[in-house]
Amino acid sequence: MMKKIAVFPGSFDPFTRAHQDLVLRALPLFDEIVIAIGVNNSKQGLLPFEVREEAIKAVFKDESKVQVQRIQGLTVNFCREVGAQFMLRGLRNGIDLEFENAIAQNNLILAPEVESLFLLARSGLGHISSTIVRDILKNGGDVSALVPDAILPFLKTPE
């Protein structure tokens, strides 16, 4: 029987409690989840990719079904490389749905064998985004309620 593998792609800069919740909720559905840290040139970076990778590995250090890798290029090509049949994405609101739907439709053209699976943000977590966390950090605010405890040591206030 083929392993059910999902790729959860994102910039994860930084990884939030909403990201963590999505992975934990998806774990029973898959044999393996690969958290794929990709480059998004339209976003201002906070953490170097090596630090993001190390931080996310710290969050899931006790979960053997979760792998963390950095990726470049098309996510569907990475899915093929790791043998993933699914791409996991989270939806916070209708705006996310519109954006993610367009990506999913194009991904189906590029890789019909990779199905996009969407999970709705859990109540109380839909307001969290990496962009907001970066902004709070930049302005000296406390983000401890927004990121997993294991991420906190990796965060620093941007210059």
Residue 116, beta-bridge partner list: 87
User: Which residues are designated catalytic?
Assistant: 19, 43, 92, 130
Q: How far is CA 9 from the centre of its chain?
A: 5
Task: Give the residue from 93, 157, 103, 89 showing the smallest Cα distance to 125.
Answer: 93
DSSP conformation letters of 87-128? EEEEE-SHHHHHHHHHHHHHHHHH-TT-EEEEEEPPTTTTT-
Tokens of 19: 């990201």
Minimal CA–CA distance to 16: which of 155, 140, 151, 157? 151
Place of tokens 């931080």: 55
